[in-house]
Amino acid sequence: MKYVNIPLNIPNILSLYRLFSFPFVMIFIFTGQQNLFVFFIVFNLITDFLDGWIARRFNQITEIGSILDSLADAGTYILALAGVVVYKWVEFQPYTISLSIFFGLFFIVEIFPLIKFRKFYSYHTYNSKVCAYLKGLFFIVLFAVGFFPWFYWVIIITGVLHFSESIIITIVLKESKSDVKGLYWVLKDSKTKS
């Protein structure tokens, strides 16, 4: 059995915390503890921002850390969706088709690199960061104030653009790569190498 050595720096500890928090957040969803669910999702979003900022600021970026962060991000989105379905489904019912397309693309983005490279992806593009902040803000507004259709469509459109970029990046890349800035840089890099 092969063991993975995870450097215990602050960014990796924050990502590991998020991964270990998932069963508890799931329990809060299914036991109807909405306030605890919202608190921990928001706290996870804050730790997501912090782990990335600390990793870049103090040069603690590692490939395993990027993968941990991506796994924690995906888990947070899945839990947030589960909570939205349980607590806010009435507001989202008229948008079932667009929401299904959004999450279908999300799962393609997660699975495609796994099939092609046998690894979880961790691109962390500029586009993905902007989308993550917007989704986090949308989640907070949804539970603190309410549902705004215009904000929902901002999330759907920016998300589809981000997912499309990630799918194209996976197609273009010959081997797995972490922390790419975006499709423009991947294409520029591939032209330089050829």
**Concatenated DSSP letters of 112-162:** HHHHHHSS--B---HHHHHHHHHHHHHHHHHHHT---HHHHHHHHHHHHHH
Which of 15-19, 63-67, 187-191 holds the top average pLDDT? Answer: 15-19
Provide the mean pLDDT of the chain: 92
Model confidence pLDDT, tens digit, residues 115-136: 999 988 889 899 999 999 999 9
pLDDT top residue among 153 and 189: 153
Q: Is residue 1 part of a domain?
A: no
Give the domain extent around 179: 10-193
Q: Is residue 37 part of a domain?
A: yes
Can you tell me the distance from the alpha carbon of 56 to that of 38, in angstroms, rounded to the nearest whole number? 28
Can you tell me the distance from the alpha carbon of 68 to that of 70, in angstroms, rounded to the nearest whole number? 5
Can you tell me the distance from the alpha carbon of 164 to that of 104, in angstroms, rounded to the nearest whole number? 12
Residue 1 clears pLDDT 50, i.e. is over it? no
Residue whose structure tokens are 């603690």: 60
Q: Is residue 4 part of a domain?
A: no
Q: What is the DSSP letter of 175?
A: S
Residue 122 pairs in a beta bridge with 178
Q: Is residue 3 part of a domain?
A: no
Sequence-ordered alpha helix ranges (H) in the chain: 10-30, 34-57, 63-92, 96-117, 126-144, 149-172, 183-193
Q: Is residue 121 part of a domain?
A: yes
Mean pLDDT, residues 170-194: 89
The reported pLDDT for the residue numbered 82 is 95
Model confidence pLDDT, tens digit, residues 65-84: 888 998 999 899 899 999 99
Selection from 191, 161, 178 nearest residue 117 by Cα: 178
The reported pLDDT for the residue numbered 3 is 53
Selection from 37, 8, 34 nearest residue 22 by Cα: 37
Residue 22 clears pLDDT 60, i.e. is over it? yes
When divided into structural domains, the chain yields a total of 1
Q: Is residue 2 part of a domain?
A: no
Can you tell me the distance from the alpha carbon of 154 to that of 164, in angstroms, rounded to the nearest whole number? 15
